Amino acid sequence: MWRGVPLCDVLKRCGIYSKKHGALNVCFEGAEHLPGGGGCKYGTSIKKEIAMDPSRDIILAYMQNGELLTPDHGFPVRIIIPGFNGGRMVKWLKRIIVTTKESDSFYYYRDNKVFPSHVNLQLANAEGWWYNPECAIDELNINSVITRPCHKEILPINSWTTRRPYTLRGYAYSGGGKKVKRVEVTMDGGETWQVCTVDHAEKPNKYGKFWCWCFWSLDVEVLDLLGAKEIAVRAWDETFNTQPEKLIWNLLLMGSITCNRE
């Protein structure tokens, strides 16, 4: 649970210009010098219309779970942008700059991108893919994870365990406040999919947006588990986008949210 000040209120209070007068991007700059960063500080930016959208609940956070931020989480203040890629949520925030251009930080250009799958490192450098705004990840896509069974979990097969169902568990998440509407599990390589129970621990905000992941579970017969070579999960969000069956490779391996397999 984060606590902070709405970014849009702070920007309004500071008298942010209109788009017409050049306020197109809101850049955030942290205090950190990172290795290999070309000498610049960690920084990134978001579009003005995103920054000023009250439905997005973007805050300058100074507390987490009722206590001041710890140093690891960005003390004294960091940005929280619900439903966005974590790379935009700058820690140890020092400056907010409103500009016509996007952030010029090395990290903004060199990270948090999804390139087409033919783009390798040489091509990304040669053809300037790093500077293509269409490749930046802002709102996250739909994804889901299996947490039970967990790695190296052992289920003894005996008369006690086989008389009870085994409960598969995990979580699912979509960006932009989109509700996860459905989670399905397959134990036969995608031939059939079983519908899981989905538990939303939060209420939506007053604009109908969901910011937290939700939890899914599915009771299966232990004897069915024995026959399964693989368990895979996929989620669907309220726009009925779902996860591809096969991994779609891209240079930074970001956003490649395939079905999660165990």
Binding site for a copy of itself (CB under 8 A): 19, 47, 49-50, 53, 55, 114, 116-118, 134-135, 137-142, 175-176, 181-182, 184, 192-195, 206-208, 236, 238-242, 244-246, 248, 255
| Contact present, 260 and 233 (Cβ < 8 Å) | yes
Tell the smallest beta-carbon distance from residue 14 to a copy of itself (Å).
20
* Shortest distance in whole angstroms from residue 168 CB to a copy of itself: 16
112 Ramachandran zone, left/alpha/beta (phi>0; psi -120 to 50): left
Nearer CB in complex with a copy of itself: 32/53: 53
Report the helix count and the strand count for the chain, using DSSP H and E. 5, 15
Residue 30: strand pairing partners:
93
CB of 94 to a copy of itself, least distance (A): 27
State the Cα–Cα distance between residues 119 and 121, nearest whole angstrom: 7
112 by Cβ neighbours in 10 Å (0-12 / 13-18 / 19+) ranks as buried
CB 114 within 8 A of CB 137: yes
CB nearer to a copy of itself: pick between 120 and 162: 120
CB of 53 to a copy of itself, least distance (A): 7
CB of 15 to a copy of itself, least distance (A): 19
Phi-psi region of 162 (alpha: psi -120 to 50; beta: other; left: phi over 0): alpha
Neighbour count for residue 35 (Cβ, 10 Å): 4
* Closest to a copy of itself by CB, 37 or 255: 255
**Least separation in angstroms between CB 42 and a copy of itself:** 22
Identify which of residues 91 and 182 has a Cβ nearer to a copy of itself in the complex. 182
- The residue among 74 and 175 lying less far from a copy of itself, judged by its C-beta, is 175
Task: Please say which residue, 10 or 252, places its beta carbon nearer to a copy of itself.
Answer: 252
